[in-house]
Structure 1
Amino acid sequence: MASRSPKAPDVSGILVIDKPQGVTSHDVVAAVRGALHMRRVGHAGTLDPMATGVLIVGFGYATRLLNYIVGADKTYEATIRLGQRTTTDDADGDILPWGSAPADAHDLTAASDSVPSQEDVAARLRALTRDDVERMIAERFLGRIEQVPSTFSAIKIHGQRAYDLAREGKDVELEARPVTIHAFTVLDCDIPGSANTDSVNTGSVNDDAVAYGPHLDLAVRVTCSSGTYIRALARDLGRVLGVGGHLTRLRRVRVGSFDVTASNVVTAHTENRTFTNRDGETVTRAKAILDVPNDQATTVVDDRRTALLTRVIGMPQAARLTLPHLDITDDEAKELRFGRRIDHVVAEPTAAIAGNDLVAIVERANSRQSKPSVVFPAASAEAVTAAAEPLS
């Protein structure tokens, strides 16, 4: 493998990646790690393989900012399919037939101990109006709500991921947790005012799923707190409407101040790669490919790394986009880097910045002073120049 150029500046920063469908967030991190030839790379907030959109990737010392970014509010655009349920609450799961299985503990569609019949669901879909959907959203899915995550989520139960336990056929019981839905807007739908037989689609996610009944699709935009599962929103909206539901498309368009439309965003695509594993089996899997120069010239490593660095959001700007910030003097920067307090009072974690140098994240120490909770080494002039491209 080609080695990193010894002349390349040792930089840290944030990249906003537009994650493609079909790969994991870890696959994108691996692509950035390979392009920059750096080990210290991480991301803020996992996206499912089915999902696309904003994935914040930090490298170098910027990985220390990821814990602050991950808690930011997020905006998603999605398609919710009403009339069908799946095992995973999204299009990657198997469609569940109506009327043949007992309702689970959280199944709000069930008035008794059984799931509604396919005929009942079809009748409810035909009677459904856009006003019905928007009224239910306003009543049940705005503000602070309690949400039970999908059993196929990445939440850990006694050290194991919920989706691993679910795939092993084990019972997974997750506790409801509070989340905040700031906005939940229906952008478009298959319901032309009042649904009728002609407006209810007979298509389906899978080719063999026609037997599982008709459906209606809603295009929605959701702005929510960190920790909200859009799959669970789709599932629960379908439940309270009495028709079931799941997610067929998900795109994250914003994380905090980082937006997918910004000029610095790095796009990516997927390519299938076939290889032989240690057991001698031929395996094909998707790989994330960053859309930066990747020719076969001898300088390909430096070219790709340089091209990617032109999209980097430097440390001071990334901090300003993530946290409140405090401008400090060079003397105060020295004090913070020695672990000492400075005579400023902050109400919450705040980025302390001296010129174009992110010095520390500070927090309140007492009524007169703040203390460093995270300290960053002084950036070299070369690194600052390389990673100071503004976000627009």
Structure 2
Amino acid sequence: MISPTPQAPVRRPTADDGFVVVDKPQGWTSHDVVGRMRRLAGTRKVGHAGTLDPMATGVLVLGIGKATRLLTYVVGADKDYDATIRLGVATTTDDAEGAVVTVAGEGAVARVDRAALDAAVAELTGDILQVPTSVSAIKVDGKRAYARVRAGEEVALQARSVTVSRFDVLDVRQVTAAVPDVEDVPVIDVDVRVTVSSGTYVRALARDLGAALGAGGHLTMLRRTRVGGYDLAGARTLEQMETQADADGTLATIPLAEAARGTFPVRELDEVEVRALGYGQWVEPSGRPDVVAALSPSGTLVALLEDTRRRGENLAKPVLVLAPAS
């Protein structure tokens, strides 16, 4: 008897171009989330605006369709995190997923008082030079740093300028932690809330805070609560998105124009400017130093504009046209 041919899964209707804001679950990579979203959105044209480690949870902004072209601007936005830093133990990855490399012991932990903690936090606030964690996605000679570390290579990354505009200590607790191959050890757990520029590694803040206090440190919890104009209040779990898509027939997205309003300053166009930009022509300047979203009178996202000089004249050039003339 011939077995019936298995049926391919039904392809979902393609979602409208736009953003979705996911509350990423723990244990998932950002690539895992993109894979699930491709199935939910019925398209392979899905990307994300900034990786979250598998251990981390929280806001992950994804673009669908034409909205993927806006993601590069979201990546550069500042971000908010809630985190727990464990002082007294350092790991290979600067978070709880790495192997333990040092345990400070009771004496070193006991020397960490609140005054010393606050002083060390202050030194890590503002414009600082930070050496990224060695298991970052930064490329070294064409290969990701984390891949080199996992292959047993020594990786030395260059310090870079980052901005930590907020580094608030919310709670400090003395606890006992289980460490592999070691008896339970005294540690200090510090709950913090930080606002950081793009390219800042919160794991590296934990590492550097522990080093400054002579105790070592790593992250045990990390939750991203905001990326630019998108926060947890507007985020949905993957389960909620699947339920909504099943009920409505297609995945709901944040429309392109609304996504642009959450990312850029907005410029309202007249119909003459809409037509000109549709053909890739330059228009009168916006009078702003940054990229602006140009919207038609009907609210359609037409283009992204950037002021520049051409032949001695200030003009706005389209850096991305999303509504080309037909």
Is 1:324 aligned to residue 307 of structure 2? no
Q: Distance in 1 between matches of 2:308 and 2:55?
A: 44
Output the amino acid matched with 2:249.
T
Aligned to 2:132: 149
Task: Give the AA of the match of 1:25.
Answer: S
Q: Are the equivalent residues in 1 in contact too, given 2:134–2:149 (CA < 8 A)?
A: yes
**Pick from 118, 134, 138: which aligns with 2:118?**
134
Instruction: State the match for 2:236 in structure 1.
Output: 266
Q: Aligned partners of 1:90, 1:353: CA distance in 2, in Å?
A: 43
Give the conservation status (yes or no) of the 8 Å contact 1:36–1:305.
no
Give per-residue Cα distances to partners, 1:288-314, cap 9 Å, x unaligned: x665229xxxxxxx73673531xx211
Distance 1:322 1:209, change over 3 A: farther
CA positional deviation for 1:4: 4.3
**Cα distance in structure 2, aligned partners of 1:86 and 1:212:** 16
CA drift at 1:56 = 0.2
1:131, 1:307 → 2: CA distance? 54
Taking the aligned partners of 1:78 and 1:97, their CA distance within structure 2 comes to 21
Gapped regions of structure 1 (runs ≥ 5)? 99-117, 191-199, 269-288, 295-301, 380-392
Q: Verify: 1:365 aligned to 2:308, yes or no.
A: yes
Match of 2:214 in 1: 242
Tell me, in whole angstroms, the C-alpha distance in 2 between the residues paired with 1:188 and 1:44. 30
The answer on 1:82 being equivalent to 2:25 is no
Does residue 256 in structure 1 map to residue 231 in structure 2? Answer: no
Deviation at 1:136, TM superposition (A): 1.6
- Please state how far the C-alpha of 1:135 moved relative to its aligned partner: 1.9
Give me the whole-angstrom Cα distance separating, in 2, the residues matched to 1:358 and 1:222: 33
1:231 maps to amino acid = R
For 2:169, the equivalent position in structure 1 comes to 186
8 Å CA contact 2:305, 2:320 repeated in 1: yes
Contact 1:19 1:28 in 2 (8 A): yes
Quote the offset at 1:47 in angstroms. Answer: 0.1
**Structure 1 residues 256, 38: closer, same or farther in 2, change over 3 A?**
same
List aligned pairs for 1:190-339, cutoff 5 A.
190=173, 200-204=174-178, 206=179, 208-211=180-183, 213-262=185-234, 265-268=235-238, 291-293=241-243, 303=246, 306=249, 308-309=251-252, 312-339=253-280
- Judged with a 3 Å threshold, the aligned counterparts in structure 2 of structure 1 residues 87 and 212 are, in CA distance, closer, same or farther, namely farther
Q: Deviations over 1:146-195 (max 9, x none)?
A: 000111111111111111100111111100001000000011111xxxxx
Per the alignment, residue 123 of structure 1 pairs with 107
Alignment of 1:72 onto 2:77 = yes
More strand by share: 2
Q: 2:50 aligns with which of 37, 45, 49?
A: 45
Cα distance between partner residues in 2 of 1:19 and 1:307: 20
Q: How far, CA to CA, are the matches of 2:190 and 2:126 in structure 1? A: 20
Match of 1:374 among 281, 296, 320: 320
**Pairwise CA distance, 1:211:** 3.5
SS in structure 2 of the partner of residue 202 of structure 1: strand
Over residues 68-124 of structure 1, what are the superposed CA-to-partner deviations in whole Å (9 max), with x where a residue is unaligned? 0000000000000000001111000011244xxxxxxxxxxxxxxxxxxx4xx4213
Classify the secondary structure of the residue corresponding to 2:98: coil
TM-aligned CA distance change 1:62 to 1:305, over 3 Å: farther
Aligned-partner Cα distance in 1 for 2:132–2:18: 32
- Residues in 2 aligned to 1:342 and 1:372: alpha-carbon distance in whole angstroms: 8
The equivalent position to 1:173 in structure 2, one of 151, 156, 160, is 156
Are 2:289 and 2:307, in contact at CA under 8 Å, matched by a contact in 1? yes
For the Cα contact (< 8 Å) 2:14–2:42, is it kept in 1? Answer: no
| TM-score w.r.t. length of structure 1 | 0.76
- Counterparts of 1:4 and 1:202, CA distance in 2: 50
Query: 1:348 pairs with 279, 286, 290, which one?
Result: 290
Tell me if the contact between 1:122 and 1:213 (Cα under 8 Å) persists in the aligned partners: yes
- TM-score for both structures, normalised by structure 2: 0.90
Contact 1:360 1:374 in 2 (8 A): yes
CA contact (8 A) 2:15 2:41 kept: no
- 1:329-376: per-residue Cα shift (whole Å, max 9, x none)? 122111111010112334221111113200000111324321101010
Between the aligned partners of 1:24 and 1:305, the Cα distance in structure 2 is 27
Q: Corresponding residue for 1:297?
A: none
Q: What residue is the counterpart of 2:5 in the other structure?
A: none
Q: RMSD value over aligned CA atoms?
A: 2.1
Cα displacement (A) at 1:261: 1.7
Match of 2:155, SS state, is coil
Identity %: 45
